[in-house]
Each structure stands twice: as C-alpha cells, then as structure tokens.
Amino acid sequence: MSIFNNITEPTFALLGFAVGVIYGLDGWRGSSDNLSFFRQPRIRNLSWVIGVGFLGFLSRLVFEDVSRARLLFFYFLAFVIGTIIIVVGWGLIIFVSYSYERIFHPDKYPPPPFSPFIDYFFYGYSFVREEYSKGLERLKNQIDEKRHEFLPEYGGHVSKAIAAISAYTSTPTEERRAEITKAILDAICAVMHLYNFKVRDLKFNANCMIAYPKDTVPEAVLTKLKFGWGDRARYAHYLALYVYADNKGAQDFSLPVEDGNLPGAANSILPGGPQAYLINETVIVDNTQDMAYALGVPGGIREEIRNYFKGRKSFQSFACLNIVYGGRQVGLVNIESNQLAVFGNNQEHKDELESLLFPFCFLLGFLIEGVAAP
C-alpha cells in the first residue's frame, strides 16, 4: 500500500531529497566568525531550501486535488533525509581518512587545535581544508623550531651520560654500574621523545641485555631461558636482561642466540634481539603482532612469542641495537613503544635515530663490557 495519494507527492519527495543532497554537499557551511544566528551561512543557505519547498503552495495552480500540507511534509522529510545521508556520510569519510593520516603518517598530521571531524560538522568541509593547510604550516614551523632546540637538548643528554660514566670510573661498583646504565637508558627514552615531539600519547621504555658466551654463562641465566628448543648445545650466546629504564612491566629472562658458524643458524634464529645479535645489525619490528619468523622456528615457539606480546598491550613495536665495545659485541639495547613503528614510518627516520643513539650504545658498552667477558 502506497503512502502517496498521487504522483505529485513522490515528485516533491524526490525534489526534497535532491535539494537535501545539494545542501549537504554545498550548503552545509558554518562560520567561525562571531555572527548572529540568522547571518550564519548555514542558516542563510536554508532560505532557498525553504523557498523551493513553499512552491507547494502554488501547486493548486498546476495540479488538482493535492494537499499542500502533505506536499510540504514529503518535501521537508526527504530534504532532511538527504541532508543527513550526505552530512553524516561525508563526515565519516573525513573521520576515517584523517584518522588514517594521524595513525600512519603522524609526521604529516597537524597538531591541535586541528580536529577535522568536529570542524566539519560545525563549519563545513571547506573550513576543514583551510585548517588542514594552516595546521601543516604550524607543524612545519614547530619542526623548524624544534630542530633549533633539538641539538642543544640532545647534546645535553649525551654530556650527562658521559659525566655519569666519568663518575662511575672513580667508584666502580656493581650498584653504580646498574644505576648509571638505567640513567643512560632514561636518556635514550628522552631522545626518543625529543625526536618524536609531534606524536601524541607516545611512550617508550628501554632495557639493556648482556651477552654471555655459552662457555661462561651463569646457571642463573640458563634457568631463565625463554623460547629455546631442540639441542641447546648449539647456542653460542645468551642475552640476559640486565636493567630497564622504567621498571613498570619489566621482565627477567634470557634469550638464546644461534651459533653463526653452524649451518642453518640464520634459518633458526629468533626474531628481535637474537637476530640483531647474530647479524650484528639493528633490527626494527614495526608491529609485534606481525613479526617475520625464520622458517626453522617451530610453530609452538612462534605461538609462545605471539602470546607473550599479546599479553603486553603497551608493547606494540621495538628496536634492537647492538652494544659494541673494543670491537666486540657485548649486549643489546632494546627500545619498545606503545605505538606502532617505534623508529618511524620511513627508512630515513630509522637511520637517523640509529645514528643518534649510537653514542649511548657505546657508553653502555664501556659499562658492561667486562660483565660477561670470557
């Protein structure tokens, strides 16, 4: 059963829907200026919408047996539906697209007060585009200013770390070693924050692992071994967690490293720290839920690793940097983040951060080089 009494009513409904679509696309504009209610562009744009609607009052000049009230009802109902579909739909598109930019390209996302979703509903899409351009300009200015501030602040962190090392050499105790190691790890986290100043809600933690050759590894390290399998006599080194920058969520275990002189070692190496140590290169994992595994790592071990990261929601990505001192690998620095891509989304950022953190890794090498010496 049709809700319409005649052909004129659906015609006016289609007209109202079309006008609603046009209003949603072109007339849904507000103003950030302090204008009176009736001078707001969005309200003024409604005048021609209402004008078209009241053509229904002239319908008796053309059509017979029509209800002007019903024509106006169908016209304005369809207009509202058309407007809502366009405004809400376009708003969702804006929300998704700009959210994608904020998550995956934070270096190209304007800082507050840019708020595209809210700005669109208050002021329209043109205002969003204008604010986006202004926001990018503000971001560029912030980056330029921060570059001028970065080197002095970065140099200050390096100087403090060197001073701490100098203080350690005068009173070299195990307690002081751990204390200064933590101070250097704190400095690493501070540099990470300094470099990523424009990314909101970003958190870092860092830890130091000491590398023990298999011939001198303490029994206490072996009892804390995780993710090992098969004939463990094949392992050449063990990486033991030593100190964290922040003890909240700190772990206490060791990881095995395959013997690079044995055939198939690269095919069995664990991802992350063991891989970084084996190949003596920085390893960066941009997403702990999407790690690559060597073909020889058993499925059960892979599942154990996945479960480990699932249980640590604040640990979404990490980087492993080698600590080399006196031409010898002595351990690793692991930097973890609560967001994806701990070292950024492009190779330039990754290489730059690795270079910036090298002095701290060298200083850590001075501290720990004798702990596990063969």
* CA–CA separation, 256 and 55 (whole Å): 82
Task: Report the predicted TM-score, pTM, of the whole model to 2 decimal places.
Answer: 0.66
Looking at the fold, whether 195 and 64 belong to one and the same domain comes out as no
Looking at the fold, whether 288 and 360 belong to one and the same domain comes out as yes
Q: Where in the sequence is the domain holding 319, given as residue range(s)? A: 149-368
pLDDT in tens, 342-365: 888 788 889 989 999 999 999 999
Q: Is residue 163 part of a domain?
A: yes
Q: Is residue 264 part of a domain?
A: yes
Looking at the fold, whether 81 and 229 belong to one and the same domain comes out as no
Looking at the fold, whether 197 and 263 belong to one and the same domain comes out as yes
**pLDDT range class, residue 235, cuts 50, 70, 90:** very high
Looking at the fold, whether 95 and 159 belong to one and the same domain comes out as no
Indicate the residue among 104, 121, 137 that finishes a domain: 104
3-state secondary structure of 50: helix
pLDDT in tens, 255-307: 999 999 999 899 999 999 999 999 999 999 999 999 999 999 999 999 999 99
Q: Is residue 259 part of a domain?
A: yes
Provide mean pLDDT across the span 154-176.
Answer: 89
Looking at the fold, whether 172 and 61 belong to one and the same domain comes out as no
pLDDT in tens, 44-96: 777 767 766 666 555 555 555 677 778 788 888 888 898 899 889 988 998 88
- Give the pair of three-digit tokens for residue 87: 């405004």
Q: CA angle at residue 9 from 7 to 12, to 5 degrees?
A: 110
| E strand spans, the chain | 204-213, 235-244, 254-258, 283-285, 317-325, 328-337
Looking at the fold, whether 99 and 165 belong to one and the same domain comes out as no
Q: Is residue 221 part of a domain?
A: yes
Identify whether 113 is preceded by a cis peptide bond (ω within 30 of 0).
Answer: yes
The total of structural domains in the chain comes to: 2
Q: Is residue 143 part of a domain?
A: no
Q: Is residue 116 part of a domain?
A: no
Looking at the fold, whether 73 and 203 belong to one and the same domain comes out as no
Q: How far, CA to CA in Å, does 82 sit from each of 22, 90, 230, 237, 356?
A: 9, 12, 66, 68, 55
